[in-house]
Amino acid sequence: MKSVFVIGGCRSGKSSIALDLANGQDVSEKIFIATCQPLDDEMQDRVARHQADRGYDWRTVEEPLALTQAIGDNAKPGRVILVDCLTLWISNLVLADKTQDQIADKARELAEVIQKAPCPVILVSNEVGAGIVPENALSRLFRDAAGKVNQIMASACDQVQWVVAGIPVIIKG
């Protein structure tokens, strides 16, 4: 396995599936790249649960914006990298006043780094376009940017898994 894109709805089980994939790799080091900024109690609790689920054999790199650089800096033979999640990365970029075109450019740069990585890279993202059209411009910008980034990542990765109710369905690779 080289690169896997794990996508699904909220609470679909995609993070658990991605973690199982990463833990199944025969590697000497496991790197978790966290894009979350735990700014409130709920997110801090969620981060703590995710850390407990991963266990202590993971090294965590917190990077809310410079994801391409974080992967490039950590992609080495004998490692696996798990990024959770692209949706929060996109949200961080939107809140940093990046345009949809700028976010797509960053996603293309990310795709290049993933394709050149000398180790497996697993990416987690939410499918956000299956619901209703959001009522405000910021939400529509986020939805549109996430849809574009997801398309770029799905095209770039060797395998794509859609997770529904905790069941992974391979849709590519």
Binding-site residues, in ranges, read 8-15, 62, 84
Place of tokens 């939400």: 139
Of 1, 23, 50, 65, catalytic = 50
> Could you give the CA distance from residue 71 to residue 53 in angstroms, rounded to a whole number?
22
Query: Residues forming the annotated binding site for GTP?
Result: 8-15, 62, 84
What residues form DSSP beta bridges with 30?
58, 80
113 belongs to the catalytic site: no
Transcribe 80-119 into DSSP letters: EEEEE-HHHHHHHHHHTT--HHHHHHHHHHHHHHHHH-SS
Distance of CA 46 to the CA centre of its chain: 16
Burial (CB count within 10 angstroms: exposed 0-12, middle 13-18, buried 19+), residue 169? exposed
Residues carrying an active site annotation: 50
